[in-house]
Amino acid sequence: MPTIKKQIIFLAREQAFKIEVKGLLPLTYHYFYLEKQKVDSARLKPEAGKIGDTLQSDENGRLSFTYYFDAMLETNTEIGIEDAQRRAGQVANVRDVILTNINAATCPDNFKETSLSYWTSHIVIEVIFPSDNDFERRTNSGPQTSPSAATGDGPGVNQVNRQDGDI
């Protein structure tokens, strides 16, 4: 039975979403939720900040940030293609996202009535398994889609390793 290498699973599992919201309450802290579960700040990078910084709307009620989605598809062994496709099917979907000034582990059902400022939308989670050749061509020493390596320029952004001698 064909298998998928763990490195390919790693490459397929993370995506970077650049999000821009307008019309929020100015100079207000906001919290990001995926499927009503608060997203760890280590997965968020404000436009003019660092990963983990708080999300705060500017004086015009605008907030831009990058969300680094992790599908948690890691595995320590090679797995069968059918198992990989089953796992991907559980992750790949249209997901609800909420940005609100309410700070809780789980976004309350009545957040629209109780928030001073909020925004809702959807993101599309895709899981793509590249071939071994694609994997080798895209990277020199391993996958590069992580909050510290991604450039934040859109979904599934990869940063290529520099070769020796590059500045």
Enter the tokens of residue 134: 């694609």
Residues 6+ apart with CB under 8 A from 68: 14, 15, 16, 17, 43, 44, 45, 51, 146, 147, 150
More confident residue, 83 or 127: 83
**Contact assessment for residue 154 and residue 147, using Cβ atoms and an 8 Å cutoff:** no
Chain mean pLDDT for the chain: 77
pTM for the complete prediction?
0.69
Q: What's the alpha-carbon Rg for the chain, to the nearest Å?
A: 18
Enter the tokens of residue 109: 């059902």
pLDDT 10s digits, 41-84: 999 999 989 999 999 999 999 999 999 987 766 666 677 777 77
CATH topology for the 3-135 domain: Immunoglobulin-like (2.60.40)
Domain ranges for the chain: 3-135
